[in-house]
C-alpha cells in the first residue's frame, strides 16, 4: 500500500468513527464538522473527543470540513469557513502521555463487553449506566442483576459509560491503552492500520456498594468481601443441567408467554421445588433443591419469583460452572468458568 492509499484509508476510517462522535444532522454546530490541523483530524461532541494521529495527511489542507458530506464520500469534503481555532478544545489530546497508561488486553476487553450487558439503561440512574472499576474487579449492575469479574488490578476507580466508540474499540481495536485525564477517560488504540486517541467523560456519581450484595466468603471474591452479609449455599441449589432442562422448556413456549418474563420457584416437599411459568401457571419441572427454605419465598404467594429475562441472560452470557442461592437476599448466583459471576435478584409478583 502506498503512502497516498494509507492516507485515504486512515481518513475513511476516522470519518466512520467520527460519525459516532459528532452529528451528521443539522447545521451550525461544531459537532457537525471535523477539523484537520497539525497533521491530525479531530471531531467532538462536548463529552467525547476523537483524533486520528500518526497518519500522513499531506494532501489535505488545514481547515474545517462538513462531517455528513465527508462521511458520505469517505473523504474530506465541503470545507467550511469556520476557523480551526474553534476546535481548540481537542488540542489537549496531543499532549496526553500514554507511556504509563494501563493496557487493556483482549481478555479484559471481552470481560468489559460482557459487563456492559448488565449495566443499567435507565436514564434516571446514570451512575449505573457503565462499567465500574474497583481494583481488581470490573463490575456492572442495573440494581436487579449484577456482574463482577477479576483481572483489573491497578485500574483507576472510575465508571466508564458505554459509547459506540468504546464498543468498536473493545471488539476490534488492538494495542488499547487507558488512562484518566481529570474527569475524562482517555484511550489510545489501533484499528485498520490507523492510530486513534479517544476521550470520553466518565460517569458522575457514586457507584453502588456492590460488595454488600455479594455472598460472604464467595470463592470468586477470594474472601475479600468483608462486608457481605448473606451466606451462600454452595451445594444446595440444583445443578446447572437441571436449570438448563427446565429453562429450555420455558424458552420453547410462545412469545406471548415469554414476554410475561417471570418464573416462580415453590417449595413442594422436603428438598423438592416446583418451577412454574407465571403466565398460565404451567409447571415447567420439578428439581431437587436441598435446603431451599420457606423464608426464601414470598410469604403471600409461597413462591420465589425470578425475572426470566435476567435469568436467561445470566444463564447464557458465559459458560456456567455452578448456580447457587443466597439466604439473605434470596438471589440466584451464577458462577462462570472464567472466575466471574452474576447475581440475579428476585422480583415481586
Share of the chain above pLDDT 90, in %: 47
Residues 6+ apart with CB under 8 A from 88: none
**pLDDT reported for residue 108:** 97
> How distant is the alpha carbon of residue 116 from its chain centre?
1
Model pLDDT for residues 31-89, shown as the tens digit of each residue: 999 999 988 999 998 889 999 998 888 888 999 999 999 999 889 999 998 999 999 88
> Cα torsion for 105, 108, 112, 115, to the nearest 10°?
170
- Interatomic CA distance for residues 265 and 315, integer angstroms: 16
Element (H, E) at 118: none
Given a cut of 70, is residue 27 above it in pLDDT? no
Are 66 and 32 within 8 A, CB to CB?
yes
Helices (H), 19-118: 67-73, 106-116
- Interatomic CA distance for residues 273 and 289, integer angstroms: 6
Given a cut of 90, is residue 107 above it in pLDDT? yes
Given a cut of 60, is residue 219 above it in pLDDT? no
The number of residues making up the chain comes to 349
Answer with the residue of higher pLDDT: 73 or 328.
Answer: 73
240-251 vs 308-316: helix crossing angle, rounded to 10: 130
List the beta bridge partners of residue 111: none
Are 76 and 66 within 8 A, CB to CB?
no
Are 293 and 246 within 8 A, CB to CB?
no
Among all chains, which residue has been given the C-alpha cell 467525547?
A: 48
Are 316 and 342 within 8 A, CB to CB?
no
Q: How far is CA 316 from CA 34, 220, 320, 334, in A?
A: 41, 19, 8, 10
List the beta bridge partners of residue 320: 336
Q: Which of 32, 35, 29 is nearest to 19 (CA)?
A: 32
pLDDT band at 91 (very low <50, low <70, confident <90, very high): confident
- Interatomic CA distance for residues 184 and 217, integer angstroms: 35
Tell me the pLDDT of the chain averaged across its residues: 84
Half-sphere exposure of 53 (CA within 13 A, CB side): 17
Backbone angles phi, psi at 4, to 5 degrees: -70, -40
- Interatomic CA distance for residues 126 and 144, integer angstroms: 15
pLDDT band at 228 (very low <50, low <70, confident <90, very high): very low
- Nearest-5° Cα angle at 228, 222 to 230: 110
Q: Which of 325, 335, 332, 311 is nearest to 263 (CA)?
A: 311
pLDDT band at 230 (very low <50, low <70, confident <90, very high): very low
Which regions of 54-204 does DSSP assign to beta strands (E)? 63-66, 79-80, 102-104, 130-134, 137-141, 145-150, 159-161, 174-181, 184-191, 194-201
Answer with the residue of higher pLDDT: 327 or 265.
Answer: 265
> Cα torsion for 30, 33, 39, 40, to the nearest 10°?
80
**pLDDT reported for residue 215:** 67
Are 68 and 43 within 8 A, CB to CB?
no
Q: Which of 175, 166, 149 is nearest to 201 (CA)?
A: 166
Amino acid at each position: 500500500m502506498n503512502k497516498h492509499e494509507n492516507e485515504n484509508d486512515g481518513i475513511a476510517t476516522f470519518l466512520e468513527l467520527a460519525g459516532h462522535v459528532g452529528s451528521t444532522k443539522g447545521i451550525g454546530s461544531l459537532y457537525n464538522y471535523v477539523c484537520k490541523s497539525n497533521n491530525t483530524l479531530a471531531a467532538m461532541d462536548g463529552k467525547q473527543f476523537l483524533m486520528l494521529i500518526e497518519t500522513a495527511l499531506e494532501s489535505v489542507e488545514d481547515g474545517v470540513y462538513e462531517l455528513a458530506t465527508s462521511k458520505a464520500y469517505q473523504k474530506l469534503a465541503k470545507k467550511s469557513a469556520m476557523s480551526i481555532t474553534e476546535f481548540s478544545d481537542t488540542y489537549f489530546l496531543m499532549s496526553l502521555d500514554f507511556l504509563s497508561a494501563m493496557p487493556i488486553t483482549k481478555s479484559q476487553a471481552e470481560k468489559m463487553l460482557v459487563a456492559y450487558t448488565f449495566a443499567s439503561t435507565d436514564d434516571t440512574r446514570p451512575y449505573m449506566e457503565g462499567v465500574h472499576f474497583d481494583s481488581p474487579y470490573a463490575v456492572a449492575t442495573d440494581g436487579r442483576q449484577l456482574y463482577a469479574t477479576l483481572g483489573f488490578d491497578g485500574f483507576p476507580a472510575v465508571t466508564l459509560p458505554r459509547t459506540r466508540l468504546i464498543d468498536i474499540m473493545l471488539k476490534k481495536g488492538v494495542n488499547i491503552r487507558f488512562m484518566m485525564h481529570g474527569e475524562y477517560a482517555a484511550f489510545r488504540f489501533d484499528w485498520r492500520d490507523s492510530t486513534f486517541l479517544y476521550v470520553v467523560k466518565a460517569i458522575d456519581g457514586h457507584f453502588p456498594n456492590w460488595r454488600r450484595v455479594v455472598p460472604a466468603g464467595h470463592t470468586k471474591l477470594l474472601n475479600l468481601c468483608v462486608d457481605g452479609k448473606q451466606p451462600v449455599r454452595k451445594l444446595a441449589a440444583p445443578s446447572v443441567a437441571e436449570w438448563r432442562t427446565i429453562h429450555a422448556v420455558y424458552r420453547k413456549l410462545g412469545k406471548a408467554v415469554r414476554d410475561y418474563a417471570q418464573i416462580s420457584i415453590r417449595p413442594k416437599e422436603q428438598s423438592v421445588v416446583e418451577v412454574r411459568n407465571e403466565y398460565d401457571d404451567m409447571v415447567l419441572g420439578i428439581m431437587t433443591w436441598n435446603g431451599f427454605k420457606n423464608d426464601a419465598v414470598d410469604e403471600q404467594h409461597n413462591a420465589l419469583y425470578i425475572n426470566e429475562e435476567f435469568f436467561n441472560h445470566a444463564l447464557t452470557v458465559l459458560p456456567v460452572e455452578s448456580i447457587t442461592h443466597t439466604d439473605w437476599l434470596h438471589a440466584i448466583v451464577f458462577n462462570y468458568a472464567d472466575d466471574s459471576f452474576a447475581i440475579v435478584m428476585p422480583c415481586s409478583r
